[in-house]
Amino acid sequence: MENWIEKFKNGDFVINCETEAEANKLMEILALNEIGWHRIGDTKEKNNFEHYMSETCYNIENDRLWYANIDYYIDEEHRKVVKFSELKKHTTNKKENKNMKTKKTTKTNIYQTIYNPPATIIMWTDETKTVVKTSANDDYDPVFGFLMAYFQKNSGMTKTQVGLS
């Protein structure tokens, strides 16, 4: 889909985000393209996903962002609904995205960190997670746990492969 952000801004379709991670990524892209909510509020601060969960759809009207349930757009507005996962397939094509502002992302984007002794868990924006646990004879250290999880994600190596266990 050539330059989907412009088509979205023109109201050619609405976007359905089936996961909160997708909604967060969409909000990030919209913020970079200076698209905000119809009421005061930064798209990076709120995605409104909790209202309709996997049936949440977003659209542009009068240059502002709105959201509703997928059924509203299909039944009431008779709008074309495009899944965000389908748009993501197209964001890797440089020709199609030359006019769209995007933030360079890597697999190191952290969505959430959970400290739950003896485990440290990092949730990533690519919808994966890395879990590291303290060995039975070691004291729990949240900083070390975070660093190990971060290292494992970015190196692809495990604690055993590094020689720390």
**What confidence tens digit (pLDDT) does each residue in 71-115 have?**
998 887 788 999 998 886 655 444 334 444 444 444 457 888 999
Please check whether residues 34 and 84 belong to one and the same domain.
yes
CA distance 66 to 91: 22
Please check whether residues 79 and 20 belong to one and the same domain.
yes
The partner residues of 148 in beta bridges, in order of sequence, read: none
Assigned domain for 104 exists: no
Assigned domain for 102 exists: no
Query: Does 162 score more than 90 pLDDT?
Result: no
- Residue ending a domain, among 56, 90, 124, is 90
Assigned domain for 95 exists: no
Please check whether residues 22 and 73 belong to one and the same domain.
yes
Q: Give Cβ neighbours of residue 36 (< 8 Å, ≥ 6 apart).
A: 30, 42, 43, 64, 65
Query: Does 21 score more than 50 pLDDT?
Result: yes
Please check whether residues 72 and 114 belong to one and the same domain.
no
Half-sphere exposure of 12 (CA within 13 A, CB side): 11
Query: Does 5 score more than 70 pLDDT?
Result: yes
Contact 58, 84 (CB under 8 A): no
Which H helix or E strand runs over 4? helix 4-9
Assigned domain for 133 exists: yes
Please check whether residues 136 and 77 belong to one and the same domain.
no
- Percent of the chain exceeding pLDDT 70 equals 78
Pick the closest to residue 157 from 134, 139, 130, 136 (CA basis): 130
- Residue ending a domain, among 90, 124, 143, is 90
Domain count for the chain, please give it.
Answer: 2
Please check whether residues 84 and 157 belong to one and the same domain.
no
Assigned domain for 96 exists: no
Pick the closest to residue 62 from 28, 30, 36 (CA basis): 36
- Residue ending a domain, among 90, 121, 143, is 90
DSSP sequence for 78-93: ---EEEHHHHHHHTT-
40: containing domain:
4-90
Find the angle CA(156)-CA(159)-CA(163) to the nearest 5 degrees.
115
Query: Does 155 score more than 50 pLDDT?
Result: yes
Which H helix or E strand runs over 130? strand 129-133
